[in-house]
Amino acid sequence: MKQYDSFYINGEWVKSTGSQFGQVINPATEAVVAEVIEGTVEDVDRAVQAAREAFDSWSSTPSSVRADYLRKIANGLQARVDEVALAISNELGSPLQYAKSVQAQEPVEGFNLYADYASLMDQVEHIHNSMVVREAVGVCSFINPWNYPLFQIVGKVAPALAAGCTMVVKPSEITPINAFILAEVIHDAGLPAGVFNLVSGLGPVVGEAMCVHPEVDMVSFTGSTRAGTRIAELAAPTVKRVCQELGGKSPMLITEDVDSDALAAAVNYVVEDVMFNTGQTCTALTRMLVPRSRLDETNAIVKASVEALVVGDPLSDDTFVGPMSSARQRDTVQAYLKIGIEEGATLLTGGLGHPEGLSQGYYVRPTVFTNVSNEMRIAREEIFGPVMCILPYDSLEEGIRIANDTPYGLSSAVWAASKDDGLAIARKIRAGQVYVNGGEYNLEAPFGGYKQSGNGREWGAQALHEFIEIKAIQL
């Protein structure tokens, strides 16, 4: 078992001023795989001061030089992809083959993407007697989640580096190991001291200190809506810029006129979307809206699809669904399963208890409720587990209304008889992204939500704008 007692601050590994260690637990085996020191307010202050001292130099570094650093980091991370994937599988429970392809490989692509975007900072617009230029927003605090740990860190760090910002990064205390690997990669790439700083620890201590520090200009947070509102409150007195990617309860609307093959394709698309990463995905299409006339047909396809999924050891090539990230998350999902039963939803498959043969580890049964109404808690609240609700509707107008009847607006999907029909419906859904007829995720497209799903955007060229100040120079 490895012990981490130092943080990466001002270009070197320094001992924390704290004395308490948190345990990183493998959710498949319940074994402790690492101990990580819990940071303090003093650690945060040292990191922020280092970022502040590095800002003037880094922000004035030519964009081509910043791009070169980003590519060096990408290459260093690529060389350690297998190590990163295994670390994330061990600390999160993500199936290894998925951890490698998404959790480890896509962050490499993210650094390369923003190396290409760095030159956008050089754009100058001339408006009559004014010259409009772009400058880095300043020192940033990045507070990250555990479900896509490195991917979410890179979604903040890469555009911030491209823009010329300096930063303090806090990984989730549940999945911190991957962030320490990233810090090692960044150090080996020779990034100037103070540009990137890493402090791990608890949200109420480290996270809150990062939000209130007077030398921090911007806070970016990914996590629950509840925590997001707290962060906004903490940042408000000093009028920091705040970018947040929060919760979701995303709909998938299937139209009545799809043929049987399209219905099967749509159902399998949704099942895979909801169940990968053990349902711990903020964009998961957990509300499937189907015409009442197709409900029985849909139920049969969903049941067969879900029950064919392999639940088990994340290190097995056959596993699609691993354990929940923690005992706490397992207990949360179990509580919602009980709520769904008590609310009168029909349990189509899955349910309470652990999967057969998996008494050890934080496993839950992939579960589908049908005949769900949109007023039920299981249809309105983010469960963050392998749980899907099937909601029948009687007209397309009603289906769209149900899709939009949510406090969230992060993601959504439509499956219609044609892409043109799907596109017309997509324009009526209030969400930051809509997948039409099986569309794929695009790293170069903006990512973010409406309503209580947050504000601002990550990924794509639009993410760079979160880290830019616009200056008008009158000539």
- The closest of 198, 172, 200 to 183, measured between CA atoms, is 198
Cα separation of 315 and 124, whole Å? 50
Catalytic residue, chosen from 165, 282, 389, 466, is 282
Give one DSSP letter per residue of 296-341, joined into a string: HHHHHHHHHHHHTS-BS-TTSTT-SB---SSHHHHHHHHHHHHHHH
Active-site residue 245, yes or no? yes
Upper half-sphere CA count for residue 310 (Cβ side, 13 Å): 10
C-alpha angle 109/114/119, rounded to 5°?
A: 150
- The closest of 168, 120, 384 to 277, measured between CA atoms, is 384
Cα separation of 239 and 242, whole Å? 9
Residue 207 region by backbone torsions, left for phi larger than 0, else alpha for psi between -120 and 50, else beta: alpha
Q: How far is CA 330 from CA 225, 250, 302, 376, in A?
A: 19, 21, 23, 21
The answer to whether the beta carbons of residues 162 and 464 sit under 8 Å apart is yes
The answer to whether the beta carbons of residues 43 and 206 sit under 8 Å apart is yes
Active-site residue 389, yes or no? no
Take residue 196 and report the two structure tokens written for it: 């990137």
Alpha helices in 127-280 (DSSP H): 149-163, 177-188, 208-212, 225-235, 260-275
Take residue 216 and report the two structure tokens written for it: 């921090």
Q: How far is CA 413 from CA 248, 273, 330, 461, in A?
A: 13, 11, 27, 23
The answer to whether the beta carbons of residues 101 and 95 sit under 8 Å apart is no
3-class SS at 457?
A: coil
Neighbours of 448 (CB within 10 A): 24
The answer to whether the beta carbons of residues 225 and 44 sit under 8 Å apart is no
Tell me which DSSP letter residue 100 carries: I
Segment holding 68, helix H or strand E: helix 63-78
User: Would you please indicate which residues are annotated as catalytic (active-site) residues?
Assistant: 245, 282
